[in-house]
Amino acid sequence: MIVEYREFGRLGRISALTLGGGGIGGVWGGTDRAEATATVYAAIDEGITMLDLAPSYGAGAQAERVVGAALRRRPAPDVLITSKVQLPDDEEGDIAGRIRRSLRDSLARLHRDHLDLVLLHTHLRPDDAVPPKPWVTAWRTYRERVVPEFERLRAEGLVRGWGITAVAHPDTVLAALRETPRPDAAQVIVNALGFDGGTTAFHGTPPAHEAITRSANAHDVAVIGIRAVAAGALTSALDRVLPADDPVATEFVRAEAFRKLAADLGESPAALAHRYALSVPGVATVVLGVKNRTELAECVAAADRGSLTAEVMAAITTLR
């Protein structure tokens, strides 16, 4: 049973582990609906109090549908639900309408009347970024149209809080953390080797995950740690077939020394990676990308072993 709970801004205290929707949605290797549902129940039984979902997690928004059906059969009123809105390179068009339609559809799949947290699921880019790339939202669009709509949704009680994906284009992310109104939460890559896990390679900007975490802490924005195992690069073996030049496959090769250190410490690489993420100061919760109860149990057991020592943290840092 998870015993550690951490402060999460206006949403109160949450478990240090969050169950992510990517795994139960089949993003990180195959799973079936029955096992995904059983994993949701197992996570709640272990004390996990937040489920992090998105319409894009699985064909037909599988993760949202699994959770919606699971919690309808076995309600868990104290569990917080997050989901996301995607606005890929969307400078024009009905931004407010698109946000509301996405939220409406998520709530219908989840059988809920509100979300605890809605997150912008696209990267923030500078207005002068040339050329614009997929899966980004321009800074002006974010400030003038996304933030006001998120604030309206909160005022209407449709969401309790909102947040951003704080990964690519670090200067723009840092600006979002300084400005007001600022997000309640930010999803930040937190992993042992500072890998991107295939998230930011296409942007061509150097990562600044640690600087983003520090800035979020300084501005009272709760940090949701993501990519703890770098999309599988920090595990014993990749659970899906990837081309040799795929960023995650490349990072997996680079992580050989990390796997050796884990073996020397008597840990699996995934367990060590999760313990590292949980040990990073200023991280409110770490999202698990697990797709079944076996993987969940490994992560819970790792969390139960507590934070890593300063000596082990330093040994990991030298591998970067």
- Give the C-alpha distances (Å, rounded to integers) separating 133 from 53, 104, 196: 24, 27, 17
Q: Which domains does the chain show, CATH number per domain?
A: 5-317 (3.20.20.100)
Q: Bin 293: left if φ > 0, else alpha if -120 < ψ < 50, else beta.
A: alpha
CA distance to 2, 171, 185, 275, 282, per residue, from 196 (Å): 28, 17, 19, 18, 19
Summarised one tens digit per residue, pLDDT across range 131-174 is: 556 688 999 999 999 999 999 999 999 999 999 999 988 999 99
Q: By the 8 A CB rule, do 180 and 130 touch?
A: no
Residue 80 has pLDDT above 80, yes or no: yes
Between strands 13-15 and 5-7, the pairing is antiparallel
pLDDT of 205 reads 64
pTM: 0.95
Q: Is the pLDDT of residue 202 over 80?
A: no
Confidence of residue 242 (pLDDT cuts 50, 70, 90): confident
What pLDDT, on the 0 to 100 scale, is given for residue 91? Answer: 62
E strand or H helix that includes residue 17: strand 17-20
Selection from 227, 271, 296 nearest residue 37 by Cα: 296
Q: CA-CA distance, 113 to 108, in Å (whole number)?
A: 8
Look at residue 201 and give its three-state secondary structure. Answer: helix
CA 128, 134, 138 angle in degrees (round to 5)? 35
